[in-house]
Amino acid sequence: MTSNKKSRFARFPLLATALLAIGVIGSAHAEVPARFYWKSLTGGSAVPLIVESISGNANPFDPSHLVSDDANFDATLALAGYAQTFSLLDRPAMAAILFPMGRISGEARAVNGASVSQSASGFGDPTLELNVNIIGPKPQVDIPGAMRYEPGFSLDLLADLAVPIGEYDSKQSLNLGQNRWYGRIGAPMIMQLGAWVPGRRTTLELLPAVWLFGDNNDFVGRNLQTDPLLQIDAHLTRDFTANLWGSVDGSWYKGGKATIDGVAGSDRNDVTLGFTLGYTINSNIGLTASYRSTINDSAPGDMRMDSFMMTLVFGWHPLIEGFGRLKE
Amino acid sequence: MKTATLSVIAATMATLLCAPASAQAETPRKRPNIVVILGDDLGYADLGAFGSEIKTPNIDALARDGVRFTNFYTHASSSPTRSTLLTGIDTHRNGMGNMDEWIAPNQRGVDGYEGYLRPGIPTLPEVLKNAGYHTYMVGKWHMGKAPDLIPRARGFERDFSLLDGAGSYWDMTNFTAASPKSVFTEDGKYLSKLPDDYYATKTYTDKMISFIDANRADGKPFFAYVAHQAPHDPYHLPKDWRNRHVGEYDKGWDAVRQERLQRQIELGIQPAGTELSERMWFVPDPIVLAPISRAMMGKKMELYAGLVENLDHHVGRLVDHLKKIGEYDNTIFLVFGDNGAEGTDLFDMIAGSPGSRDYLFSAINWSQTHPNSWGDPGSYPAYGPMWAQVSMTPFSQYKGWMAEGGIRNGLIVSGPAVQRTKGSINHGVMHVADIMPTMMDIAGASYPRVGDDKKAPALMGKSWAPMLAGQSESPRTEQDYLAWEVFGNRAVRQGEWKIRWQYKPYGTESWELYNLANDPAERKNLAAANPDKVKAMTALWDRYVQENNVILPNRSPYETLEDVMPPRVPDDKAFPPLIYRKQFVPPQDMMADPKP
């Protein structure tokens, strides 16, 4: 009797796995993995590491995804960051900062129309994110609160801001930094479908958002303006076991017309489909692997991009770490 | 002549005046229906009418319409109570001298220790059926599975029955690899599967309503034995009943026990000044537990409360139906639990250790251990000894043991036989064996003879009919006594005195003596100070053994308990001070920063 009870208790610090939900901020596609907005214990921290291999005809470091006709880029991208969960006005909240870095090379069309080889490497624009829940469970201020967490229907408000201090070479169109302020306002939603039991959790997650861009006054010597861009991400996720889950991912981008020195381009209207597998290694470490690709990309002006992405998130909470030390 | 003339006139007038009344009196009044609602492991203090915070408005309404009994005794475990309820005969004679699951080597083959209800012993449904009643049963049987032992063979015309002692509420999954499937019967046939929308408490209620309706036209009274599986573990319950008490039990078992006792005193269930029994020595003081521990354990109690409320909801459906069809006012209800609340971790006992056959079975069938899965098929939530003590407030111990927490239960009786003040409380000493003679009295039934000249075994109970009619306060005198034995634990009660013998460490493996009038929580063992009383009561025990062929088991589920449990120590409040002493706060005016 006693031993059984102990074992059941011992499992509970595994609630810390929820910590792994935090910390992965926007990928180069301006998309986050499924289950990103699940809430966890307040006071938790996480360090995400994202590595992505991307090819296509738009700069993955630029969330407006300005398409260069006939261009062909290959990029290796890494992002590292830090995230913290807390309670704001008695609502669950998360703040994060993410630093993109990596290298990109490929054939791009120069402003004069010529095709040129370009490459860039270094750090991109760091991004700040604040996410505050509006509808849904109260903050998980203690472990009982974490134990009772079930998202039901939850709705957040999200604000991202990228700070234009990344590597930027005004002589070329391909850069890691974007030389302009930009950000996003969104409303992440989670709809719990069925039981909230590890091994059986199913969710439908939506992220409608609008990206807003400042002007880049030195885009190869010209002025680049970008209209607001609507983004809708959707994920249907399902546990396969208590630790293994998968999702079908889709996204739709609409708008974001670029204008260079008064010459307007066209709106984006592209759809991406993909899938993700996630695995929780232990109470601290979670891993995901994803692939996604644009599907309506046959015309020359369509955005064409596909990527493999691996994320590793290390999360921790002082209380959970203390439990871990006592168990040793 | 004059006198004769007057007499004729008087007689004529009397005849005229009384004619309607006489005609009415000659119309036989329909005998009352009888509904016995049995909760499985339902605790003494789990109903609102007995001081619980659990919301049981439908059963409470029966209590308001009837009488609550505070000194009602069952047995310490399931099938012994059920067999006594349905026969009125002592367990050591009716076949349940031990539970089927625990028959000891020295009891095997002995009459009275079959582990099932012995064929040939008259049952309440048989007696009532012979007296013109319809007899229906739904729910847990637990008194035999062979064709000659099932409800249909023992007097029930219609039944929908779980023959096992417990199982899933959702399906036919049972607990061991050797017996993986629960066995059900419906109208005497063994079921190959369950109805599509099966959920135990709901289905049992639906079936009982359909049985009652099916024969309603013939106008005969009915006996309905509603032997619910709830709230026996595992606490399986529909999702919308699981979250009605979120966080309410995080305060811990001591606080809830104290609150229940306070309400019991206010209601008149217990007298002012009643003490709580000791917190079991191996149960922690919830004050010293971390919030997560209290929340985890509290969640189990949340589920239990939801399960009891769901049970009450379905009792309400049955009551409402009887009101709708006009039978409520002519129906006697009896509501009680079959023994003390369950404090033993049955799942741990059943699942065994890694490497065992049953552990493998549990890994496949009973491994939904996450708290969010509790209540689902495949989960086995049970609330443990700490909450079992709450369910048995203010008594000591729980199911399986002979402390009051094992054998005393709350009883509600309502209906036409009850002439006492509605909503009143009675403290007379009563026993589950009394139900057979009481119902026979009410139904006008007679006890049959068995065989040629061989009388059926003597009924051990006493009819409550005079007491329900308000003619007495108790069916028992101060000289009458009750006795119990199961698993080797034993007890005798006579008047306000009780002796009990229990395995260590719950007992002392010697006779203990308690005065229940002064000490219902059995805190003060008076044996050493009252050797004559112990002697007199052990003589009653010897008599009971002799008259009922009691064979103490040479093996018991409790035989090695002392070896595996923490040593028993008193539950001295706030000991040790080491973990209770609060932070010292110096006087503010003496506080200072360190000098440079």
Mean of all residue pLDDT scores within chain B: 93
Contacts of B280 in chain A (CB under 8 A): none
Residue closest to B139 by CA, chosen among B314, B342, B305 = B314
Count the neighbouring beta carbons within 10 Å of the beta carbon of residue B113. Answer: 23
What pLDDT is stored for residue B348 in this prediction? 86
pLDDT greater than 60 at residue B39: yes
User: In terms of pLDDT, which residue wins out, B575 or B169?
Assistant: B169
Please report where in the chains the tokens 């005849």 appear, as a residue. B15
pLDDT greater than 70 at residue B21: no
Q: Are B132 and B220 in contact (CB under 8 A)?
A: yes
Contacts of A17 in chain B (CB under 8 A): none
Whether the bond into B576 is cis, omega within 30 of 0: yes
Inter-chain contact B370–A197, Cβ cutoff 8 Å? Answer: yes
Q: How confident is the model at residue B253 (pLDDT cuts 50, 70, 90)?
A: very high
Q: Are B222 and B134 in contact (CB under 8 A)?
A: yes
pLDDT greater than 70 at residue B16: no
Inter-chain contact B345–A4, Cβ cutoff 8 Å? Answer: yes
Q: What percent of chain A has pLDDT over 90?
A: 53
Q: How confident is the model at residue A112 (pLDDT cuts 50, 70, 90)?
A: low
Alpha carbon separation from B24 to A115, B418, B442, B500, B522 (Å, rounded): 112, 22, 20, 53, 53
CA distance B8 to B242: 75
Inter-chain contact A8–B296, Cβ cutoff 8 Å? Answer: yes
Q: Return the bridge partners of A286, or none.
A: A280, A313
pLDDT greater than 90 at residue B349: no
Among the partner-chain residues B239, B296, B347, the one whose CB lies closest to the CB of A147 is: B296
Over range A212-240, report the average pLDDT: 93
Give B 263-302 residues with CB within 8 A of chain A. Answer: 290-296, 299
Note whether B373 contacts A: Cβ–Cβ < 8 A: yes
What pLDDT is stored for residue A305 in this prediction? 83
pLDDT greater than 50 at residue A282: yes
Contacts of A195 in chain B (CB under 8 A): 239, 372-373, 376
Q: At what angle do helices B384-391 and B291-324 cross, to 10 degrees?
A: 40
Inter-chain contact B291–A242, Cβ cutoff 8 Å? Answer: no
Nearest Cα residue in chain B from A196? B372
B84: part of which helix (H) or strand (E)? helix B78-87
Inter-chain contact A143–B294, Cβ cutoff 8 Å? Answer: no
Domain ranges in chain A are 11-327
- pLDDT tens digits for range B255-281: 999 999 999 999 999 999 999 999 999
pLDDT greater than 50 at residue A28: no
Has the ipTM of the complex gone over 0.85?
no
What pLDDT is stored for residue A108 in this prediction? 65
Q: How confident is the model at residue A27 (pLDDT cuts 50, 70, 90)?
A: very low
Alpha carbon separation from B187 to A257, B109, B138, B222 (Å, rounded): 75, 30, 10, 16
B5: part of which helix (H) or strand (E)? helix B2-26
What pLDDT is stored for residue A243 in this prediction? 94
How near does any CA of chain B get to the CA of A318, in Å? 15
Contacts of B302 in chain A (CB under 8 A): none
Note whether A196 contacts B: Cβ–Cβ < 8 A: yes
State how beta strands B33-39 and B331-337 pair. parallel
User: In terms of pLDDT, which residue wins out, A282 or B551?
Assistant: B551
What pLDDT is stored for residue A111 in this prediction? 56
CA distance A122 to A100: 9
Q: Which two tokens stand for residue B369?
A: 């251990």
Q: Are A278 and A245 in contact (CB under 8 A)?
A: yes
Q: Are A294 and A271 in contact (CB under 8 A)?
A: yes
pLDDT greater than 90 at residue A6: no
What pLDDT is stored for residue A24 in this prediction? 28
> Rounded to 5 degrees, what angle do the CA atoms B247, B198, B168 make?
60
Q: B13-50: string of b/e by CB count within 10 Å (b at 16+)?
A: eeeeeeeeeeeeeeeeeebbbbbbbbbbbbbbbbbbbb
What pLDDT is stored for residue B377 in this prediction? 96
Fold of A11-327: Porin (2.40.160)
Q: Return the bridge partners of B515, or none.
A: B497
State how beta strands A305-316 and B158-162 pair. unpaired
Q: Which two tokens stand for residue B19?
A: 């004619």
Q: How confident is the model at residue B8 (pLDDT cuts 50, 70, 90)?
A: very low
Over range B76-92, report the average pLDDT: 97
Set out the domains of chain B in order of their start, with CATH numbers: 30-484 (3.40.720.10)
pLDDT greater than 70 at residue B24: no
Inter-chain contact A195–B372, Cβ cutoff 8 Å? Answer: yes
Among the partner-chain residues A9, A11, A150, the one whose CB lies closest to the CB of B372 is: A150
Contacts of B363 in chain A (CB under 8 A): none
Among the partner-chain residues B290, B296, B376, the one whose CB lies closest to the CB of A195 is: B376
Count H helices, E strands: chain A?
3, 18
Half-sphere exposure of B525 (CA within 13 A, CB side): 13
CA distance B125 to B159: 12
Over range B347-369, report the average pLDDT: 90
Nearest Cα residue in chain B from A12? B292
